[in-house]
């Protein structure tokens, strides 16, 4: 098995390569199909864990503070992400509320908690209990976590309502903006490197 550790297989065309050591900003591409094989990742376990805790704080702000508030003739109203999920859950369309809840709230928080779990143990050079399961769930959750889309959606909603009434972006929106950028950095596919580290 020692020999296959240094091999890398292109997931798009099944070509086999030797792993390369990358310097900053470098990536390797498959010569057959042009897919990315490896990308340089400058994060150490400590840095990634620190960023994950920051992201957890941002998640709390993004979920407990209103994303925006509006006022119409002196009456004010504000909504959090959870309020918007509830707005979808009325009537026959409850299923879509579930999808929205997973995409905006549930998948990101599970990603963050799993990351803290595996990275916390990795800091001490150990594999966490349930390491295999946690790593597999991180892979499964990734495509269903849609914070970037959520951010763009919130911005479109602000502009959409600005024509009708007074709109004020809330703390939740700024937290969401920072959180969605951080998730791209910390929860990407490069967490697979943990398999080699611990």
Partner 1 sequence: MSTPPYADELNLCLCHTCGLACDMTFEPHECERCGAPLHRRKTNSLTRTWAYMIAALVFYIPANLLPVMNTKMVGNGADSTIMSGVLEFWEAGAWDIALIIFIASIAVPGIKFVAITLLLVTVQRDSEWARKERSTLYRFVEVIGYWSMLDVIVVALVASLVKFQALADIEPRPGILFFGLVVVFTMLSAMSFDPRLIWDKERENPHNEEVTDEVTSH
Query: Smaller CB distance to partner 1: residue 50 or 80?
Result: 80
Tell me the closest approach of the beta carbon of residue 121 to partner 1, in angstroms: 16
Q: Whose Cβ is closer to partner 1: residue 50's or residue 198's? A: 198
CB of 17 to partner 1, least distance (A): 6
CB 10 within 8 A of CB 37: yes
Q: Between the CA of residue 18 and those of 30, 189, 194, what are the distances in Å?
A: 11, 19, 19
Of the pair 60, 165, the CB lying nearest partner 1 is at 165
8-state DSSP, 189: G
Q: Strands 36-39 and 27-29: what pairing?
A: antiparallel
Please state the closest distance from residue 177 (CB atom) to partner 1, in A: 14
Cβ proximity of 167 and 75 under 8 Å: no
| Nearest residue to 111 (alpha-carbon basis) of 35, 58, 177, 174 | 58
Chain residues binding partner 1 by CB under 8 A are 1, 4-5, 7-9, 11-17, 30-35, 67-70, 72-73, 75, 77-79, 83-88, 90-93, 95-97, 99-100, 103-104, 132, 135-136, 139, 143-144, 146, 149-150, 152-154, 156-157, 159-161, 163-165, 192, 195
Q: Are 172 and 65 in contact (CB under 8 A)?
A: yes
């Amino acid at each position: 098995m020692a020999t296959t550790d240094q091999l890398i297989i292109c997931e798009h065309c099944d070509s086999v390569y030797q792993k390369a050591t990358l310097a900053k900003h470098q990536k390797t591409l498959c010569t057959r199909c042009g897919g990315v094989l490896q990308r340089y990742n400058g994060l150490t376990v400590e840095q990634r864990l620190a960023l994950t805790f920051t992201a957890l704080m941002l998640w709390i702000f993004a979920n407990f503070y209103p994303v925006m508030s509006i006022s119409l003739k002196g009456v004010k109203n504000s909504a959090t992400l959870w309020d918007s999920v509830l707005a979808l859950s009325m009537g026959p369309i409850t299923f879509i509320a579930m999808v929205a809840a997973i995409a905006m709230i549930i998948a990101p928080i599970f990603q963050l908690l799993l990351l803290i779990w595996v990275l916390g143990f990795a800091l001490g050079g150990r594999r966490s209990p349930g390491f295999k399961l946690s790593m597999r769930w991180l892979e499964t959750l990734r495509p269903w976590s849609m914070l970037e889309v959520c951010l763009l959606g919130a911005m479109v909603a602000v502009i959409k309502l600005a024509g009708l009434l007074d709109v004020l972006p809330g703390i939740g929106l700024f937290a969401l903006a920072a959180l969605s950028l951080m998730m791209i950095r910390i929860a990407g596919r490069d967490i697979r490197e943990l398999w080699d580290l611990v």
